[in-house]
Structure 1
Amino acid sequence: MAPLDGIRVLDFTAAMAGPRCGMLLGDFGADVIKIEPPEGDHARRWGVHRYGPDGQFSGLFIALNRNKRSLVLDLKTEAGQAAAAALTATADVIIENYRPGIADRLGIGYASVSARNPGVVYCSISGFGQNGPLRERPGLDMLMQAYAGHMSVTGEVGRPSVRNGPSPIDLLAGTSAAFGILLALRERDKTGRGQYLETSLYEAAIEMVAHFIADYTGSGQVPPKSGRYFAFASPYGIFDAADREFYLGASHQRFFEALCAVIGREDLISDPRFGSNADRITNRDALHEELFPIFRSRGAAEWVTLLDGAGIPASLVEDLAEVTRQEQVAARDLLLPTGIDNVDMVGIALKMGLTPGTVRRPPPRLGADTAAILTELDELESAKKG
């Protein structure tokens, strides 16, 4: 039996953060009903490539919507709103990512839902949160990367700001929402009470720069872009070998000393410019002048072998084609077929010994479960009346 067997989730979300939240719950047994407008979640159309017999899947949609059933409702109509309201009375969990106030106008806000269903756990995911001067603004991952300071520390000094590729703010916001829902369900187990909870992309974005903010408020120095290197340790970052890039992370004194032994430069250990991590950060350019010619003398794979053999964190900078072929990916069951063309999806990251997550359903075709879900609803309502 999965941990969330018997939990019904209504997922009124689109794009990335909300769908990730629903998928995480679905992976561990929840019955997740994805409620889509007639045109579908707009993420079905993101990107260039299309999959499935009628091209209604994007890679992004596939990655975030397994273990769900798809129900099409037009919430701009009275009939759609009535069906949604009736469904909310059957739900254990509701997730929505409308702008503040819209769910209320659609008749599925927390006040009206909890009046019908006091035990409901209701989670709102928004751009900037439900209060404050920016509550009405839309929330997008890249907007948050700009507004919350991510871009100010990403990329090379003196070069244009760049985007963090994997949309980490969306993904963290969705994960935080799922965590909050589990806490609320645990509370409901003890008291029988549901509750309202909310999080936002803005909070996730600020949370991700917490270490930079702590350092700024302590020192008064605004952190610069750190480019290929980690701002809090040195030597730590991406370096050029004779043939390609590799990563090296000497985050501890013992790693630095081991590195000096590997490259035959033990003299650097006693160099006062490099005596501590703080010294090496302050004198990063001088240290790199010593290291760069050495690193360019051999291939990246050779360096990684030598560094790894000395216990120093190191890796080739691998592209996604290389990643999909990694033995560790196979060992951890991190690449699974979807049955949609030749598309693979990333498997379940959280491994549980007694109650593992499972992939029971591929990402749903638009509206594939509408008839079945509405029939279930009719049966539930008939049972209540009977």
Structure 2
Amino acid sequence: MYTKSTEAEVLEMSELAKGALDGIKVLELATFIAGPYCAMMLADQGADVIKIERPGVGDENRTEPPFINGESAPFMLWNRNKRSVVLDLKSKQGKAQFLKLVEGADVVVENFRPGAMERLGLGYDALKERNPGLVYASISGYGRTGEMSQRGGFDLVLQGFTGLMALTGPADHVPHRLPIPVCDIAAGLYLTVGVLTALQARTRLGRGQRVETSLLEAGLSLQLYEAAAVFSDGTAPKKLGQKHRGVAPYQVFCTQTDHITVGVAQQNFWNHFCEIAGLSGLVGDPRFASNAKRVANIDELVPLIEEALAKHPSTYWLERLDKAGIPSGVIQTTDVALSHPAALERRMVLDVEHPIAGHTKTLGMAFKLSDSVADIRRPAPLLGQHNEELL
């Protein structure tokens, strides 16, 4: 039987259909990855993100391959759910139009070199005069202060500068760049946390504030084990290849057919693993009696495990390890991982209709809220697509 919803129920359903950040307006003056990634995170949760782009060229990422019908696939992925406005911030008219947008904004996200916005007359001090509630969020290479603040910084450079590159790759090989822009993405995530923290603080303080992070701070903050080691004895962490700095065995192993991952991070896992692998004699071996001893003697342990695992195919081992509750898994390429039922069930692949690229797909949101909807409301904007609508 049909039951008419009460006015309160209709209102609740209407609110549940909105994103958690519905009503928050964000002005993004950012290119490449870190700043736009932060703004994308806010947009995915319902914020109205207006991307301010340069006349003619816009965000540099618009030229980055691969392309779909001439549109940059990377740009479309982390600039979804935004609107685009072209403004010349060096012109009197462009600056006036931007300041008008600032008056109704909650957040500004920018990733110019420190001092660049101030030289335009659009730094935090100038903008907060117009809008005291504004949260002004900045990402730079090395931070707003300090002797290196004026240096430009790309993910590649900061992976090397922060020590990440010196940790990556085979132990006897040259430094390796992580193939993902880890400093950029981490900085974007940290800035997102900072923006949300400042918005929460605004409800208590009654005013906005400056939020800042850098690729330097992002790269350093990711090195938990490495920093702990430096602080304990002052020595530089060594390259470990596949090995883990604090847990053993916890790495990639080759079976009779291919490679699998095995994480024996608890003592009871170790006992079960030895039984499954036919290595029960290692349980009482004083070299491997505890996790700390296994880490210290990992070079002796790995060949013993590799010899045992080479006797059977990966399916044999994964079935038994999974039954024993020992974390393990196959090694998939990205295309396979994105098409796996686990990724699809968790809505980590979503459909998008773009006015030029047509039907495309994008990554889903990595966290979900029970009562607020995060979704793809609009594709990445064309350059200046919303000038008339917003100006």
User: Residue 44 of structure 2 aligns with which residue?
Assistant: 27
Deviations 1:301-354 (A, max 9, x none): 332222111111111111012102211111101101122345311111111111
Q: Which residue of structure 1 aligns with residue 10 of structure 2? A: none
1:272-317: per-residue Cα shift (whole Å, max 9, x none)? 1111111111111111121112222222233222211111111111
1:352-373 CA distance string (max 9 Å, x none) = 1111312211111111111111
Q: How far apart in 2 are the matches of 1:305 and 1:37?
A: 55
- Secondary structure of 2:68 counterpart: coil
Secondary structure of 2:283's aligned partner: helix
Query: Which residue of structure 2 aligns with residue 199 of structure 1?
Result: 213
Deviation at 1:138, TM superposition (A): 1.0
Q: Distance in 2 between matches of 1:102 and 1:239?
A: 50
In the alignment, the residues of structure 2 paired with residue 175 and residue 122 of structure 1 have an alpha-carbon distance, to the nearest angstrom, of 16
The AA in structure 2 aligned to 1:117 is: N
AA at the equivalent of 2:385: A
Residue ranges of structure 2 left out of the alignment (5+ in a row): 1-14
Please point out which of 369, 375, 379 is paired with 1:358. Answer: 375
Paired position in structure 2 for 1:380: none
**% of aligned pairs identical?**
37
> Structure 2: how far apart are the matches of 1:262 and 1:195?
56
The answer to whether the 8 Å contact 1:84/1:108 transfers is no
1:325 equivalenced with 2:339 (yes/no): yes
Aligned to 1:238, the other structure's residue is in SS state strand
Q: For residue 221 of structure 1, report the CA deviation from its aligned partner.
A: 2.8
The equivalent residue for 1:41 is 59
**Match of residue 3 from structure 2:** none
Q: In the alignment, which residue of structure 2 is the partner of 1:372?
A: 389
Residue type at the aligned position of 2:90: K
Distance 1:278 1:299 in 2: 30
Give 1:63 deviation, angstroms. Answer: 2.0
Distance of aligned partners of 1:301 and 1:45 in 2 relative to their CA distance in 1, 3 Å threshold: farther
**Which residue number in structure 2 is paired with residue 242 of structure 1?**
256
Contact 2:278 2:308 (C-alpha < 8 Å) held by counterparts: no
Q: Matches of 1:156 and 1:61 in 2, distance apart?
A: 32
SS at match of 2:67: coil
- Partners of 2:312 and 2:182 in 1: how far apart? 34
| Matched AA of 1:51 | I
In the TM superposition, residue 189 of structure 1 has moved relative to its aligned partner by: 1.7
After superposition, residues 270-349 of structure 1 pair within 5 angstroms as 270-339=284-353, 340-349=357-366
Counterpart Cα distance in 1 of 2:320 and 2:240: 26
- Cα pair 1:9 1:31 within 8 Å, conserved: yes
Which residue of structure 2 lines up, in the alignment, with residue 383 of structure 1? none
Task: Tell me, yes or no, if the aligned pair for 1:11 and 1:22 is still in contact at 8 Å.
Answer: yes
Query: Contact (CA 8 Å) 1:85, 1:107: kept in 2 or not?
Result: no
TM-score of the aligned structures, taking structure 2 as reference length:
0.91
CA RMSD after TM alignment: 1.4
* Structure 2 SS opposite 1:71: strand
In the TM superposition, what is the alpha-carbon distance from 1:18 to its structure 2 partner?
Answer: 0.6
Secondary structure of 1:123's aligned partner: strand
1:166 aligns with 2:183: no
1:125 maps onto 2:142 in alignment = no
Query: Hey, what's the Cα distance between the residues in 1 that align with 2:128 and 2:234?
Result: 46
Q: What is the CA–CA distance in structure 2 between the aligned matches of 1:224 and 1:304, rounded to whole Å?
A: 30
Query: Hey, what's the Cα distance between the residues in 2 that align with 1:266 and 1:139?
Result: 51
Whether the 8 Å CA contact 2:225–2:245 is kept in 1: the answer is no
Matched residues, number: 370
Counterpart for residue 260 of structure 1: 274
Q: How does 1:2-151 map to 2 (within 5 A)?
A: 2-38=19-55, 39-47=57-65, 49-52=66-69, 55=70, 57-151=71-165
Report the equivalent of 2:243.
Answer: 229
In structure 1, the residue corresponding to 2:51 is in which secondary structure?
Answer: strand
Give 1:21's aligned amino acid.
Answer: C
SS of 1:260's equivalent? helix
1:367-386 superposed Cα distances (whole Å, 9 cap, x missing partner)? 11111110xxxxxxxxxxxx
- Give, in whole Å, the separation in 2 of the partners of 1:230 and 1:193: 45
Query: What displacement does 1:46 show?
Result: 2.0
**Alignment check: 8 A CA contact 2:135 2:199 kept:** yes
> What residue ranges of structure 1 are gaps of 5+ in the alignment?
375-386
* In structure 1, C-alpha distance between the alignment counterparts of 2:332 and 2:233, rounded to whole Å: 36
Shift of 1:211: 2.5
- Does the C-alpha gap of structure 1 residues 342 and 241 become closer, same or farther in structure 2, counting only changes over 3 Å? farther
